[in-house]
Amino acid sequence: MKRLIVAITGASGAIYGVRALEMLRDVGVETHLILTVAGIRTINAELDLGVDAVRALADHTHNPKDIGASISSGSYVTDGMLVAPCSIKSLSGIAHCYNDELVVRAADVCLKERRRVVLLLRETPFHLGHIELMAQATRNGAIVMPPVPAFYHRPATIDDIVNQTVARALDLFGVSVQAIRRWNGRASIGAA
């Protein structure tokens, strides 16, 4: 069974983390959620879904201050970590291995164990400091994947855009979900 860590941090776009939890639940992947204080604030501002409902989507929920949680150790095997959305603060911590909270500690553990870490970075426009942080995180082994929408699948709703982005992120972990619409070389495409 696959096991993924999902962190929801304080950047706009909490729906990305929530949708990832929903998709992972639907395909039977065990999830470990880290929900930061700023992530809770973003959920309350952006979604009609309560924080308890978001926590209920995960198999396990961890306190973001608990750097002694199971997922803070390399001996606790996971298939990696998705930070969705990823704030610049979280990116900075991950880029600099600043392990004072669980999001960064869990990401750092995944990176040192050569497990996949995908960062759905939500910020725009970028200044040079942001770009340098992305470069450092990439050198450390993370994949920086800003949720830039694709349009070849002709999205009709925001949900279509969110689903495609999250499904592409999950592809990076070897998790395939039905929501993805793959390019097949033709203008008219169907679901995979």
**Could you tell me which residues are annotated as the binding site for dimethylallyl phosphate?**
152, 168
CA distances from 66 to 17, 62, 70, 104 (A): 20, 7, 9, 11
| Sequence ranges of the binding site | 10-12, 36, 87-90, 122, 152, 168
| Sequence ranges of the binding site for FMN | 10-12, 36, 87-90, 122
CA distance 58 to 35: 11
Phi, psi of 33 (to 5 degrees): -100, 135
Can you list the positions of beta strands (E) in the chain?
3-8, 30-35, 60-62, 80-86, 116-121, 143-144
* Helix pair angle (158-171, 14-26), 10° resolution: 60
Sign (positive or negative) of CA dihedral 10, 13, 18, 24: negative
